A = this chain, B = another copy of it.
Amino acid sequence: MANIRDIAKQADVSVTTVSRVINEHPYVSKEKRQRVHAAMAELGYLRNQQALTLSTGRTQRFVVVLPYMDHPYYGLFVNGLAKAALVKGYRLVMWQTEYKLDQERQALDLLRHREVDGAILLSHAMSFEELETYRSFGPISVATVGAPETISSVHVDHYAAFATGLQVLKQGGYEDIGIVLSRQSSPSSIARQRAYFDEVASARERWVWTGYLTSEDGIRLAAEFLQRKERPRALFLSSDYVALGFLGEMHRRGVRIPEDVAILGFDGHPISQAFGLATMHAPHEEIGRALFDVTFDEMDGGAVRTQSLTVTYFPGMTL
């Protein structure tokens, strides 16, 4: 493995000159430039990224923190992140946390130890107070709501999104509406529930289901839903995968959708289209892209930004 000093010796120039050639600095004579190029070709020179990183203090990496790698929901964001990272020549280090605090801390320690230039959290269990303690080590951006002003955020306006979805249901003639949320105490769930109570007259505490994340949870929900004596006429589920699990299981049990119960999903996964699931399409890929860009800009002294994106209703046959 030839290094920059070997090249210098071979081309009979200084290491400085070699470095200048590599970085296309103008002040190198044509002749020496050629000698250096020849030497690099001859010895098969490859720049050592580690040394570069140590020298410049830039790793060209961001850590992406997310609870589950195998939930398609995060794939949408990561796709956007990856595309934006490619443009800027950045690498993404993925960190799966399963919402465990020590895992989130480990991920953020990458920032403290200068292993990455910034951190992007798609979802997190950590409080913003604690998250802020890492802020001095580099830019931090989140896809969640409620971030303090030191932390950039690009997110769906969950309150507005849920309000819109509920209006769609109301306009469809549904009055008794239940909602299905993911983690009970997450800021997004809180905003969604707030919209529910504000928007729906018949809203009741017991028609709020929490703790549903996956299609398996959707299957479980179907059983639980049918056990209730009194049931809402429509369900607004905060995840397409839960909605699809619910839909499939209801179907299997011979329950008609939307005649017996109407459902509206959330996210806009491609697979939802196949089953005619009505859903609120959220721009997750776009958020991923924007999260990367804001983190990148902040690294170069850009301002902390908060951006709130809106969702669009995608009609389907389930309501």
**Which residues of A does B touch, CB under 8 Å?**
46-51, 53-54, 59, 61, 68-72, 74-76, 78-79, 82-83, 86, 91-96, 103, 110, 112-115, 214-216, 218-219, 241, 244-245, 247-249, 251-252, 270-271, 273-276, 285, 317
Contacts and interface: CB of A to CB of B under 8 A. Distances in A.
Given A49-B115, A113-B46, A69 B75 contact: yes
A111 to B, nearest CB: 10
Given A252-B317, A274-B249, A49 B113 contact: yes
A83 B95 CA distance: 10
Contacts of A82: 69, 94, 96
Copies of this subunit: 2
A77 B235 CA distance: 33
A317 to B, nearest CB: 7
Contact of A273 (B49, B91, B216, B285): B216
Contacts of A49: 110, 113-115
A46 B112 contact: yes
A302 to B, nearest CB: 22
Contact of A54 (B51, B70, B103): B51
